[in-house]
Amino acid sequence: AKLNKEKIDVTIPGYQFRQGSIHPLSLIIESLEDFFLGQGYLVAEGPEVELDKYNFEMMNIAEGHPAREMHDSFYIDQNRLLRTHTSPVQARFMEKSNGKPIAIISPGKTYRRDPDDQTHSHQFMQCEGLVIGENIHVGHLKETLLSLAKYLFGEDKEIRLRPSYFPFTEPSFEVDVLFTKKDKSQTWIEILGSGMVHPEVLRMGGYNPEKVSGFAFGIGIERIAMLKYGVDDIRNFYTNDLRFLKQFKGD
């Protein structure tokens, strides 16, 4: 009798709790981490207030190098600044790896003194990747990025690598993905920068460039989110407008 009184009808509908949403930039980062963890990468983190040594020097951007003009930076003092990319995480990881093979990604916030407009922000997010080992070549880089493009945007996607310049990679490539517009026409859209790790970067990280090689890439999180979700203004990600943010749900 007591059991009959206490029984619960599991078929009765439960309470409808309000479901929250996940920030679109967090959704992209989670997707990238899921993809690369499945490929055997590690997720590495580092400080946002960084030493000049790791942000520039170990990335083959010496004092007076013209490439520093690309990174109009927020300096705290002569030797410390807000990191302009997540490459310092890679520099620190290389330094601690004692010449061993590595495969990492480093997502996080970055800062540059860019004027805020529809496509630029003084704060933005990146996810950089680094692979170092024996006999790593451009074919490995291209296959990794093609698999990533298909994972993010669909199995029908194609990519192309265009020659470019970055001081920390040689050769360097901009990577474009072929998108189909609403009118059925097709267009190439740049999504990231990449290349083979410069021998000097390997050397400064404690590796022998005569014995090992590697590839690296840098992904703009906002860039991917804008393409994937059809957002036309980067500022929408940072205004905390719930009408915008409620559109995004986790899987």
Could you state, in order of their start, the residue ranges of all structural domains in the chain? 2-245
Looking at residue 181, its pLDDT comes to 81
Distances, alpha carbon 26 to alpha carbons 98, 117, 125, 196, in Å:
32, 21, 10, 28
Looking at residue 70, its pLDDT comes to 60
| Burial class for 164, CB neighbours closer than 10 Å (0-12, 13-18, 19+) | middle
Q: How far apart are CA 113 and CA 106, in angstroms?
A: 21
Q: What is the pLDDT along the chain (251 residues), one digit of tens a residue?
A: 566 777 777 787 777 777 778 899 999 999 999 999 999 999 999 999 999 999 999 999 988 877 666 668 899 998 999 999 999 999 999 999 999 999 999 999 999 988 899 988 999 999 999 999 999 999 999 999 999 999 999 998 889 999 999 999 999 999 999 988 888 889 999 999 999 999 999 999 999 999 999 999 999 999 999 999 989 999 999 998 888 988 887 55
Distances, alpha carbon 151 to alpha carbons 31, 32, 187, in Å:
9, 9, 19
Looking at residue 245, its pLDDT comes to 87
Looking at residue 13, its pLDDT comes to 79
Residue 108 · residue 88 · CB < 8 Å: no
DSSP secondary structure letters along 119-184: S--SEEEEEEEEEEETT--HHHHHHHHHHHHHHHH-TT--EEEEEEEETTEEEEEEEEEEEE-TTS
Looking at residue 71, its pLDDT comes to 61
Looking at residue 1, its pLDDT comes to 59
Q: How far apart are CA 126 and CA 89, in angstroms?
A: 12
Residue 108 · residue 48 · CB < 8 Å: yes
The per-residue b/e assignment along 99-127, b for 16 or more CB within 10 angstroms, e otherwise, is eeebbbbbbbebbbeeeeeeeebeebbbb
CATH number of 2-245: 3.30.930.10
